[in-house]
Amino acid sequence: MNQDVLICGSIAFDTIAVFEGRFRDHILAESIKSLSVSFFVPTLRKEYGGCAGNIAYNLHLLGGRPVPVGTVGADAEDYVQRMRDLGMDTSLVRVLPEAYTPQCYITTDQENNQIASFHPGAMLRSAENDLSGHPAAWAIVAPDSKDAMFAHARRLHQAGIPFVFDLGQAMPLFEGPDLEQMLAMASILTANDYEASVIVERTGRTLQDWSCRLQAVIVTHGAHGSVLHVDGQSTDIAPVPVSEPLDPTGCGDAHRAGLLHGLVQGWTLVEACCLANVMGSLKIMSKGPQNHQPGHARILDSLSRHYGLDKSL
C-alpha cells in the first residue's frame, strides 16, 4: 500500500532576532503616526521553516513518508539538500532561480512580543507546482498562497486523495464562500480555537455541522489539549503536560504530522489525535520548528504514559 503523504504548503526560512528589551518602552503612543524605531538585536538565528517543511520534518521523525509540495528560490539549495539527506522525496519541490525563497523576519522582545515581516517570494507561483500523477495515502493543504491552496485541493480531490485542510496563517485570505468551497473537497478540517471561531463566523455553520459534513473536525486548544468532532459529537483529547515549554513555533505543524501519521497507519481518529498531541508537546520543548529529535522510543513512551496506547510507529 502506498504510504506517501503529500505535504502542500509553504517552505520558508525564519530569521529570528531577539531584542533584549521591551517594545513598549520604545514605541510610544504619541509618536505612532510617525513611527521610526531601531532595535539592537545581539542574538540572531536562521531556521528552516514553513508549514510544509515543518510538517514534513515531523512526519519524517515518525518514520512516515512525507512528500513536500512547495516552491522555493535558488537560495534554498541547502534546505532542499537537507530534505534529501533526511531521505525525503523532493521531486515536488519546485525551484525558481529568479525568485527568493519565502522568508519570515521576526524580532522578539523579552516579553515574547513579536514584530514580523513576511516576503512570499517563490510562494506566489506555488499554484503552478502540479502534483497530479503522484499517488498518496493522504495529503494536507496547509497555508500557502490562496491560489496554490485551491489548485492543490482541486487536484487532490480529482485524484481521489483524501486531505486535511489546515487554514492557519492563510485565514485572512479566505472569506465564507472560499471556506465552503474548500471544505466541500476536504476530508478533515483542523484549526486552532481562534481559527475555528473565525470559520464558524464566516460560514455561518457550527463545528458540529461541519463535523457531520466532513470525516472529522479537530480543534487545538494549546496547553489545554484538543477536541475531536465527529458526526456532531465531541471528544476531548487531554493535553500532554510539559514541564518546560521553550518555543511554540511549529507546534501546530508537529500536531498535523502526528495526525497524518496516525491516519496513514489506520489508527482511529482518537488515537491519531493522541499522537498529534504528543508531537506538539515534544516540539514545544525545543527552540525552532525543526530542531527537536525525539526517537521512536520517547514518542511511544509518551503515548503510552499519557493515553495508555500500546502502539508501534
Closest CA to 186 of 221, 220, 235, 150: 150
Per-residue pLDDT of the chain (313 residues; tens, 9 = 90+): 789 999 999 999 999 888 999 988 887 777 677 778 888 999 898 999 999 999 999 999 999 999 999 999 999 999 999 999 999 999 999 999 999 999 988 888 888 787 888 899 999 999 999 999 999 999 999 999 999 999 999 999 999 999 999 999 899 999 999 999 999 999 999 999 999 999 999 999 999 999 999 999 999 999 999 999 999 999 999 999 998 888 888 999 999 999 999 999 999 999 999 999 999 999 999 989 999 999 999 999 999 999 999 999 9
Structural domain spans, the chain: 4-13+49-102+119-307
Non-local CB neighbours of 208 within 8 Å, separated by 6+ positions: 229, 232, 234
- Predicted TM-score (pTM) of the model is 0.94
- pLDDT tens, position by position, 211-243: 999 999 999 999 999 999 999 999 999 999 998
Cβ atoms 166, 141 nearer than 8 A: yes
pLDDT for the residue numbered 265: 97
Closest CA to 63 of 257, 210, 278: 257
Phi and psi (nearest 5°) for 189?
-110, 130
User: Three cell numbers at 288?
Assistant: 525552532
pLDDT for the residue numbered 142: 97
**CATH architecture designation of domain 4-13+49-102+119-307:** 3-Layer(aba) Sandwich (3.40)
Half-sphere exposure of 208 (CA within 13 A, CB side): 3
pLDDT for the residue numbered 106: 85
Alpha-carbon gap, residue 9 to 93, rounded angstroms: 10
Closest CA to 292 of 261, 236, 251: 251
Alpha-carbon gap, residue 255 to 248, rounded angstroms: 11
> How would you write the chain as a 3-class SS string?
CCCEEEEECCCEEEEEEECCCCHHHCCCHHHHHHCCCCCCCCEEEEEEECHHHHHHHHHHHCCCEEEEEEEEEHHHHHHHHHHHHCCCCCCCEEEECCCCCCEEEEEECCCCCEEEEEECHHHHHHHHCCCCCCCCCEEEECCCCHHHHHHHHHHHHHHCCCEEEECHHHHHHCCHHHHHHHHCCCCEEEEEHHHHHHHHHHHCCCHHHHHHHCCEEEEECHHHCEEEEECCEEEEECCCCCCCCCCCCCHHHHHHHHHHHHHHCCCCHHHHHHHHHHHHHHHHCCCCCCCCCCCHHHHHHHHHHHHCCCCCC
User: Three cell numbers at 186?
Assistant: 476536504
Q: How many other CB atoms sit within 10 Å of the CB of residue 121?
A: 21
